[in-house]
Structure 1
Amino acid sequence: MADTGGVEIWLVRHGETLWNAQGRITGWSDVPLTERGEAQARALFPLLAAERFDSVVASDLSRAVQTARLAYGEPQRHLWELRELDFGGLEGLPWADLAEPHRVALLAFEGFQAPGGESTARLRSRVYGFFEGLAPGRHLAFTHGGVLRLVLRDFDRDRFLPPCAVVGLDWTARRVLFVWGEEGLDGS
């Protein structure tokens, strides 16, 4: 994105955790990266190191901070606003053990709220509130799969992305610039 006074955001999903590998619902639990997750984060370094960012931030959960450190460097701030959805009573459960109504609602995403957890509307409010407060420039944010899915759904590109996927956004124009994941680069 040319420097037009707009806001460009690169969102990075954290690397694999044990709960990801086990298919467990992971929200606000502070689960560290696996060795594979660390390797995934290090593999992003050549891509991200070649870029210049005006700020580098991460969710305050260790999996996002650890990914940032391995993939780019120490984030300037650790922010709760960039956390995953709070799954409340569903936290830590294997996907296969979720009641059918919870699985259906979570796949639909919009309007979802786990028992004792956070709604997708609240997730949108806190994440977008942070994005709206960003100064013009390029920003790198290490976050979670639910945040990437939220944004992509709102931009008509609903996708589940793997650990260490990267989504580039022209936030000012509300446009997806690219999606990078296991399949490689997918430009808009």
Structure 2
Amino acid sequence: MTDTVRFCVVRHGETGWNAEHRLQGHTDIPLNDTGHAQARATAALLARQRFDAAYTSDLRRAADTARAICGEQLAAEARQALRERHYGAFQGLTHAEARARHPEAFRHFEARTPDAPFPGNGERLTDFAERIRTAFEDIARAHPGQTVLVVAHGGVLDILHRLASGRPLDAPRDFRIPNAALNWLRRDAHGWHIDRWADEGHLGATRDELPNA
């Protein structure tokens, strides 16, 4: 890749399950009122920003956030590959409920054990990371020299940050991933780079309820 691709990656707005610290994964949960307000605030901030293309997870919390940001100027292409990690039997549970019902699996979840399986056919962390890396590399190849908006999920942004920073998958997270914040990255011939992360000044109070995984 010779032409730098600039990415603005946004985590979807808040949902009711975010507020309850309930694991969503592939469960299709809508934005709550706060999430819709966050999407509108992000849209206002980006109103003068020109994007050559836009992509979104096909889950509606991301797709509705993307629709608010893009307005009538640009249609975001929905891609299943941009979904959150599949949390298997953890989906729908709070962190406390998952720990109580599946203590061994939750221990690996908290420790970010890369190859540990999830009960209920969830994704291993290594498989999820490879899915997200491939999805973003595919988008980058399709848009040399362009600026691209992507709306996705907290786990997706966790993988992207590690891809750009070189932080291992099993290292504790030491960076924020707020709902509806802006994260600017570049993909060039030398790899991925972070330009600005967790820009949330337009949002006021934001939630980052994500666990360490």
Hey, what's the Cα distance between the residues in 1 that align with 2:112 and 2:8? 22
C-alpha contact 1:59 1:65 (8 A) present in aligned 2:
yes
Match of 1:79 in 2: 79
C-alpha contact 1:145 1:160 (8 A) present in aligned 2:
no
C-alpha contact 1:14 1:144 (8 A) present in aligned 2:
yes
What are the superposed Cα offsets for residues 15-54 of structure 1, whole Å, 9 maximum, x if unpaired? Answer: 0111111110110000000001000110101222221111
Q: Which has the larger radius of gyration?
A: 2
The structural deviation recorded for 1:181 is 4.1
The structural deviation recorded for 1:105 is 2.8
The structural deviation recorded for 1:158 is 4.2
Hey, what's the Cα distance between the residues in 1 that align with 2:54 and 2:78? 9
Match of 1:92 in 2: 92
Superposition TM-score, scaled by structure 1 size: 0.87
Q: Pairwise mapping of residues 11-160 of structure 1 onto structure 2 (< 5 A)?
A: 11-73=9-71, 75-99=75-99, 100-109=103-112, 111=114, 112-115=116-119, 116-134=121-139, 135-136=143-144, 137-154=146-163, 155=165, 156=167, 158-160=174-176
- Across the aligned residues of Structure 1 and Structure 2, the Cα RMSD in angstroms comes to 2.0
Structure 1 residues 79 and 25, CA, compared in 2 at 3 Å: closer, same or farther?
same
Structure 1 residues 28 and 168, CA, compared in 2 at 3 Å: closer, same or farther?
same
Q: Once the two structures are aligned, what percentage of the paired residues are identical?
A: 36
Hey, what's the Cα distance between the residues in 2 that align with 1:83 and 1:59? 5
C-alpha contact 2:70 2:76 (8 A) present in aligned 1:
no
Classify the secondary structure of the residue corresponding to 1:8: strand
Structure 1 residues 145 and 44, CA, compared in 2 at 3 Å: closer, same or farther?
same
Hey, what's the Cα distance between the residues in 2 that align with 1:104 and 1:151? 24
Hey, what's the Cα distance between the residues in 1 that align with 2:76 and 2:41? 21
Hey, what's the Cα distance between the residues in 2 that align with 1:48 and 1:109? 34
Hey, what's the Cα distance between the residues in 2 that align with 1:159 and 1:107? 16
Per mean C-alpha deviation after superposition, the further-off stretch among 83-92 and 109-118 is 109-118
Structure 1 residues 152 and 75, CA, compared in 2 at 3 Å: closer, same or farther?
same
C-alpha contact 2:21 2:95 (8 A) present in aligned 1:
yes
Hey, what's the Cα distance between the residues in 1 that align with 2:105 and 2:6? 34
Q: Find the partner of 1:180 among 172, 181, 198.
A: 198
Letter in 1 for 2:159: L
C-alpha contact 2:9 2:151 (8 A) present in aligned 1:
yes
Letter in 1 for 2:108: A
Hey, what's the Cα distance between the residues in 1 that align with 2:77 and 2:156? 17
